[in-house]
Amino acid sequence: MSDPQCEHCKVESQDQHQSTHMPSDHLEAVRSNWCLNTKSQMCVIWLLEAESPKIREVGHPFVHSLFSEKANRHLGERRAVFYANRAKDGMAAVVKLRFQLHSMWLYEPEEYAHRIEWSKRIFRDEIRALRLLEPLRETPTLYDYGVLEQDDRHDYPGGFISAIAMSRMPGKPATDYPDLSDVEGESLKRKVLQILEDIRLLGWELYDGEPDNIVYDRLTGTVSITCIAYGADKPTDRPITERDGFLRILGQNLWWT
């Protein structure tokens, strides 16, 4: 089963663009302005204030908006994605949190142990892919990651919290441009094909994704791909071509309809 949505790219919250533009240590100010679960707030601020040495590189950023928040009842986790800026250099960042849920929230509680291990494997795969693809400018750069334990402020005390901080790619999901021209569509296709081939040459091959995994900055023409966890580190020897099935999946409603 593939993950139904990739949280870096698919907006799930109706209030994701609300912004506080305040330092992350101003908990009450953030709480009054963010439209998200209070326990998520407390956790992301706790993580980003570097109380965990695993997350220290994030370095007291300005957390300015919630991008998405949703529960995945197949994998037994709740996810929250935040936009932030590192205070030390202003670098735009994405912080992704995965909270383990109690088994009662799963569609198939009897599969709980298997699904939790699956969730952990996806987390490890994303870290491995980010490290492997670090030479590419067209995929996110890993800043830091860590696994912490939920306490009594959270939904499932004793459960894990998986956290990843990475660079934010310029632009927005290409699917957010309703007026893409045929010329832009063809340009997107060429650039995405090249990115997929560069990914393959670095030892990773994507096998699952959505069109909104493509991030496009119309002003500069920059194209990038996010959500790179769903792949394999044993790519085929065959180069990526325009006939590749995955390229077609990514291109739906962008360069073909």
How high is the mean pLDDT in each 10-residue block of the chain (257 residues)?
42 32 33 36 44 37 71 89 75 87 91 93 94 97 87 85 91 95 97 97 93 96 94 90 95 94
Domains observed in the chain: 61-167 (3.30.200.20), 172-251 (1.10.510.10)
Nearest to 195 by CA among 150, 225, 215: 225
Tokens of 192: 């995405």
| 5-25 confidence digits (pLDDT tens) | 444 433 333 333 333 233 333
Instruction: Label the pairing between strands 160-167 and 172-173.
Output: unpaired
Q: What confidence score (pLDDT) does residue 50 get?
A: 37
Residue the block writes with tokens 């030390």:
88
What CA–CA distance (Å, rounded) separates 245 from 212? 16
Query: What sign has the CA pseudo-torsion 81, 82, 87, 92?
Result: positive
Tokens of 79: 């996810």
| Alpha helix positions (H), the chain | 27-33, 38-48, 112-132, 182-201, 245-250
Count of alpha carbons within 13 angstroms of residue 147, beta-carbon side: 10
Q: What confidence score (pLDDT) does residue 92 get?
A: 84
161 touches 149 (CB < 8 A): yes
